[in-house]
Amino acid sequence: MIRDFLEIHGEYHDDKSFKDLTTLKMGGPIRHLIMPESAEDLKTIIAYLKTERIPFKIIGNGSNLICGEAEYEGVVICMKKLNTYRISEDEVYAEAGVLVPNLAMILAKQGYSCLEFAAGIPGCIGGLVYMNAGAYKGCMADVVKEVMVLKDDQLVWMNNDELKFSYRNSIFHSHPHWAVVAAKLKLERKPSEEIEELMADRLRRRRETQPLDKASAGSCFRNPDNDFAWKLIDSIGYRGFSINDVCVSEKHSNFIVNNGNGTADDYLNIVYQIQDRVKEKYQIRLVMEVEKFNC
């Protein structure tokens, strides 16, 4: 019955796993996966799931997510088919499933400054808004004007001040069943060559300093006040530390990578060891930036 309903409202799959849907490439099978193609379909799906008391999880590109090996018996709603965008003189409207690196390049070629800081972050607009993702002293809070949110079964626009942005955080963390549907971002005119040169330089720096050739969920820990997570991890001797196929990257110790057949248990075992040892040595509790689900 669930399948019959979902198939009417998007692209349905019953043969996927979180390994297929996350950049960390780990996680168990998914009973139901639906990819809505419109905001109205998303609204209808979530209303149905709430009425039927069926658990669900909303994801984008899965670039900041670690999932357990147990089968997820609810419904995963993947937003990647909500991927239209419109550019005007002073803003860009982008749906939640738009890949940020692609949009950053499109804007740069048209002479619009906005997402240079995020050009190397392999996530969708929805995920970056949810996390208030950032790099190179920029973050989504700096560029978001408004966000279209599905909350309480209604599509509403929320302005920047209402979103409670803070370091790697937003109002959506305390409202997991709200869905980011689209965002309007501020644009500024600059020469294309200047924007593209800056983006190329930052992408080069990422390639030189981060294990982009390995499966990962990006930075594992938030940086504590006035310090860097990678420095603390190095100081306790965990650069290169591994459990089975999961390893603290030799290239950047705030990246924990999957070398093939890693599991969430292995990943989290390393996480907890690092947290305990840093806490013991420095009285600092490292906070995970990666979101845990079903584990």
- Catalytic (active-site) positions: 168, 219, 289
- 68 contacts: CB under 8 Å, gap ≥ 6: 27, 28, 264, 265, 293, 294, 295
Report d(CA 119, CA 212) in Å as an integer: 14
Candidates 116, 80, 95; CA nearest to 206 is 116
Instruction: Kindly state the helix (H) or strand (E) to which residue 205 belongs, with its residue range.
Output: helix 192-209
- 178 contacts: CB under 8 Å, gap ≥ 6: 149, 150, 151, 171, 172
Report d(CA 116, CA 160) in Å as an integer: 20
Report d(CA 258, CA 25) in Å as an integer: 7
Burial 162-199 (b: 16+ CB within 10 A, else e): ebebeebbbbbeeeeebbbbbbbbebeeeeeeebbebb
State the helix-helix crossing angle for 100-109 and 192-209, rounded to 10 degrees: 150
